[in-house]
Amino acid sequence: MVQLKQDEWTRMSSTADARDVAIMKHCIELSYNCEVSPTAFSVGSTLFLPSSSPQFPILKSRFPSFSKTDSAESEGLILADGWSRQIPGNTHAEANALTNFRKVYGELLEGTDSTTSDLPPIEDVLADASCYATMEPCSVRTSGGPSCALELVRSKVNSVYLGVEEPPDFVQCEGVRILQDGNIEVISVSGLEEECLKAARRGRD
């Protein structure tokens, strides 16, 4: 069984809540959109706004709803999806989800009258949003690109849910520590570690 590093495991909470498991399974599906690479993982990520957020009633007609089942009441909104190499330039899943959300939200703002728009500032939406990712957000990149963990800290998301820690195939990742040092809650979604790792290493066997 894949396990988190002990020092990080003791500092992180975990969840097996049906909603969180369902969203993580959605992220696993996203990871299969990735063009496989022998030198990089394939990761899926989603920015999710829970229905408990005060921004939910304002945004529910503008973003896809997410439910545990087709007949269930909405659990929240999918603000954006992202996956590794979705955007050209060896890009990562979490950064792509953030980029995709900012693009869509910017277009929404441009399409409204700024004096009458009920759209909240993007910072308020991100402050209530959670990022789900099949693998621990990167801290260091061999390509020298931006750290996804730092990007999430700078975006001031509410929390990050991860499916599995990043194994030391390429670098030693400290994404959990960076997120926690940035006052972002990190939660491990239990039970999908092997699926997340298999998807991440796809095409490298």
| Residue 19's pLDDT band (cuts 50, 70, 90) | very high
CA distance 26 to 79: 13
Mean pLDDT, range 21-37, rounded to an integer = 94
Q: For residue 42, which of 170, 204, 201 has the smallest C-alpha distance?
A: 201
Among all residues, which ones are annotated catalytic? 94
Mean residue pLDDT of the chain comes to 85
Higher confidence at residue 44 or residue 170?
Answer: 44
**Residue 137 confidence (pLDDT):** 84
Provide the whole-model pTM.
0.88
The domains located in the chain, with CATH, are: 6-200 (3.40.140.10)
Question: Between helices 193-200 and 18-31, what is the axis angle to 10°?
Answer: 10
Taking 60 as the threshold, does the pLDDT of residue 144 lie above it? Answer: no
Q: What is the CA radius of gyration of the chain?
A: 16
